[in-house]
Amino acid sequence: MSEGTAVAGPDGAPRCPWALSTADYVTYHDEEWGRPVHGDDALYERLSLEAFQSGLSWITILRRRSGFRAAFAGFRIGAVAAFTEADRERLLADTGIIRNRAKIDATLSNARVLADWAPGGLDELIWSHAPDPATRPVPKTLADVPAVTEESTALSKALKKRGLRFVGPTTAYALMQACGLVDDHLETCVARAAGPIRT
């Protein structure tokens, strides 16, 4: 077996190697990662969580997801945009999330920016940067999966231009992977074998 290729999981089905270290990862890999996500609030949540993940392991964020949702009003853009300084102080003291001041401030700032957009604007902007699947080779090993692409760099620039923060090219590509703009499940992964995941 080549290094970085799909590995048999607890049920014997081959999966991307990163998905097998914990049961939480298996569920996330099988049911969410790479599946299309639409809707401004849903994409704001994913964008926020990817920003919080920067410099940390994704499992750290995944296991605090319910805490993040409780702390940030379910990531409803309008609700977070209305947060006060008292809410900010509450977030900075909340042990259920990652208490990083810069990331919390960016999440609040991004909600205020997005609250002024037309409904569907974030969804439309993000999905306009989805590459044509026909132009992307199917990854056979983890080495074939990029960390940054031309499209993620363009998406990062578009988001920053509109005032969003903590949306660098690497974060933008992680968002694209998580939300189904690209399919980076490995060639023999059961999630890819299940059929197309793009909508």
58 is catalytic: yes
This prediction's pTM: 0.93
Binding site membership: which residues? 16, 29, 185, 189
Catalytic residue among 25, 50, 127, 173: 50
How far does the chain reach from its first CA to its final CA, in angstroms? 32
The answer to the question of residue 92 being in a domain is yes
Cα 140 to Cα 6: distance, rounded to the nearest angstrom: 8
Please give the helix or strand (H or E) that residue 167 lies within, else none: none
The answer to the question of residue 190 being in a domain is no
- Owning domain of residue 109: 40-179
32 is catalytic: no
The answer to the question of residue 8 being in a domain is no
pLDDT by residue for the chain (199 residues), tens only, comes to 456 788 998 899 999 999 999 999 999 999 999 999 999 999 999 999 999 999 999 999 999 999 999 999 999 999 999 999 999 999 999 999 999 999 999 999 999 999 999 999 999 999 999 999 989 999 999 999 999 999 999 999 999 999 999 999 999 999 999 999 999 999 999 998 654 444 3
The answer to the question of residue 166 being in a domain is yes
Domain CATH number, residue 127: 1.10.340.30
Catalytic residue among 18, 32, 58, 117: 58
